[in-house]
Structure 1
Amino acid sequence: MRPRRVNLGGRFAVEEGPPQDPARLLRLITYNVRRCLGTDGRLSPARIAEVLAHCRPDVVALQELDVGRERSGMVDQAHAIAGHLGMKAHFHASLQVMEEQYGNAILTALPSRLVRAEALPGLAHRPHLEPRGALWAAVTHAGEEVQIINTHLGLRARERAAQVEALLGPRFLGDPACRAPLVLVGDFNAVSRSRAYRLIAARLQDAQRIPGHRSHCTFPSRWPFLRLDHVFVSAGIAVRRVQALRGPLARIASDHLPLLVDLDLVATEAGRPAARVEAA
């Protein structure tokens, strides 16, 4: 069988072997959009939506969205981007001052419900650190409910570790309702050698840590050399594709690149995730 060329945001990857059943694949993108402020200084939710629409995602996890903020023209960026994509937005404000909000969102056109959205802990002796949060939505795909948690962690190592402990605790991954298949995504501000990363990787599979497949850096967008944006998956999910979108538009729309994964809900053996990449 001849390999197929698949267009991913202006960059082509080669897919070997038989094509996957598209009805089984869940395409997810995690993307820190920096309040839709591009590296060219232009503020444009429409441009972020254009980057995303090109890839036809089923679920989008966004970080650093402005809602009703004067600095961004009072636009509700979460719902503006969702509207461009024909999706519904679940938004959580990590920071709120009067009517102005700033936070994260999960967008999808699939049947979905917001399960939980709340703050993550900071450092008691650093009360002025930027507040952080997480939101958890249940998305129904191919007859299965997938638990998706989106987060954006802090800049300090001890802060991130405390926030990961909260994510692993009873309000999120430790909740009996947060069962496989589940996906934890976002901007973790953490590289793979960090404590925060290692705590999560002990519980879930890093979608990029697949034998024979290289990892994808996402920051900064023009010349990416750091892997700060991650997708972690549970048992019951096979990773069919993972790609940082490096097209010309993606390089200027934000200071992060979007990270795309194609996920397949599959049966597992001995409770371990059947994670592998068909093409890279």
Structure 2
Amino acid sequence: MTPPDPETGPAGPETGNAGPLRRLMAWNILEGMFRPRADGAERRVPDESRRRAAVALVARLKPDILVLNEALYCEEASGQREDYAALFGFPHAASRLYDGSWGNAILSRHPIADTVSTTIHRAGANQDRGLLAVRLGLPEGEAWVATYHPHPQRRPRKRLEDYAGFLPLLPGPLLLAGDMNAVSPEDAPDAAALARGFERFRAPDVARREVERFVEAGRVLFRDVAPRFGLRDALKAAERGYTIPTPMLSTDVSSAMRIDFILVNGGIAVDKGWVVRGPEADVASDHYPVAADFRLALPGATGVSGASEEERP
């Protein structure tokens, strides 16, 4: 079998029990591909080299849906606004700000029939976060696409409350995607090794606490939230590589983790899922994107498809 293209992922089989193939890509784009101004002003300026790399990568992958976290200025803030739909060439978009200039955005090539959003306030700190979901009107039916980028310091049990209050608002086929600041238990994280890696940029006690929170958040997400709402990982075990850091942040991967996910429920049949790598992804953000090719599952379908282990390259 031909080896998988690092920018388009492994080849997946056709399935006879679901609708037309769609592609979703989710990406934390590191402060909206902006950088602070040299004069220290609050406004930021675009990092043009990162923007060019990001646009080139999205153009190559041609996703039908693009989920963005850290989408700075996705709505007007301090006299500044970034039109991500125009930047990446999508006709439909929904976005919400949190913490002033930060935000989430969902871009689509299909019409958005409805939008649901909520802001998660953290008392006594400027660490708000938001949940955003859109109901897409696809020719073969409707599906929800949602994202939640919790603050790393958000306590795992509080995150459970966040999901429990939001996900029931999204009935039917669902894809939940983005930087979830959690490590899946199925990735068998070595907490001690991760803590040693974190000590390169954190004091030892802080490194240990941060790693413990990532691990506990993963347990909550995958052992409490996912079973409760019928969600599963869209990436099969062979495709679950780390998503942070990229070389633009560090070439030392001793603290590497997979914290960006695409989770789907039984209304979605996944053909393939992968971590997107390649030269543009190496420099555009500190996170690698994740992508999945999926279909709406038809009645009687299991919602699960993909290459067998024997078929994998």
Q: Shared fold by TM > 0.5?
A: yes
* Count of residue correspondences: 255
Match of 2:226 in 1: 201
Shift of residue 189, structure 1, vs aligned partner? 0.3
User: Which protein is richer in helix relative to its size?
Assistant: 2
Shift of residue 8, structure 1, vs aligned partner? 5.2
2:88 corresponds to which of 84, 108, 111? 84
User: Computing the radius of gyration over CA atoms, which structure comes out larger, 1 or 2?
Assistant: 2
**AA matched with 1:195:** R
RMSD of Structure 2 on Structure 1 (CA):
3.0
User: Which protein is richer in strand relative to its size?
Assistant: 1
Q: Verify: 1:132 aligned to 2:129, yes or no.
A: yes
Shift of residue 53, structure 1, vs aligned partner? 1.4
Identity of aligned residues (%): 24
Unaligned runs of 5+ in 2: 36-45, 186-217
Match of 1:163 in 2: 159
User: Residue by residue, what CA displacement relative to the aligned partner does 1:205-224 show, whole Å, maximum 9, x if unpaired?
Assistant: 1112x4x6341321112256
1:174 corresponds to which of 156, 168, 174? 168
- 1:220-239 to 2 correspondence within 5 Å? 220-222=245-247, 225-239=256-270
Shift of residue 22, structure 1, vs aligned partner? 11
Shift of residue 18, structure 1, vs aligned partner? 5.1
**AA matched with 1:76:** R
Q: 1:180 to 1:115 in 2, by over 3 A?
A: same
User: Residue by residue, what CA displacement relative to the aligned partner does 1:73-117 show, whole Å, maximum 9, x if unpaired?
Assistant: x6533x245443233221100122xxxx21000001211134212
Q: 1:85 to 1:20 in 2, by over 3 A?
A: farther
* Contact 2:68/2:104, CA 8 A, preserved across alignment: yes
* Contact 2:27/2:289, CA 8 A, preserved across alignment: yes
With structure 2 as the length reference, what TM-score do the two structures score?
0.71
**AA matched with 1:152:** H
* Contact 1:213/1:277, CA 8 A, preserved across alignment: no
Task: Give distance in 1, aligned partners of 2:55 and 2:31.
Answer: 13
With structure 1 as the length reference, what TM-score do the two structures score?
0.79
Unaligned runs of 5+ in 1: none
2:143 corresponds to which of 134, 142, 146? 146
Classify the secondary structure of the residue corresponding to 2:238. Answer: coil
Classify the secondary structure of the residue corresponding to 2:57. Answer: helix
- 1:193-272 to 2 correspondence within 5 Å? 193=185, 194-198=218-222, 199-202=224-227, 203=229, 204-208=231-235, 210=236, 213-222=238-247, 225-267=256-298, 269=300
**AA matched with 2:241:** H
Task: Give distance in 2, aligned partners of 1:33 and 1:237.
Answer: 26
User: Residue by residue, what CA displacement relative to the aligned partner does 1:43-100 show, whole Å, maximum 9, x if unpaired?
Assistant: 5434322221110000010000111567xxx6533x245443233221100122xxxx
Q: 1:4 to 1:148 in 2, by over 3 A?
A: same
Q: 1:8 to 1:86 in 2, by over 3 A?
A: farther
Q: Verify: 1:50 aligned to 2:56, yes or no.
A: yes
Q: Verify: 1:276 aligned to 2:288, yes or no.
A: no
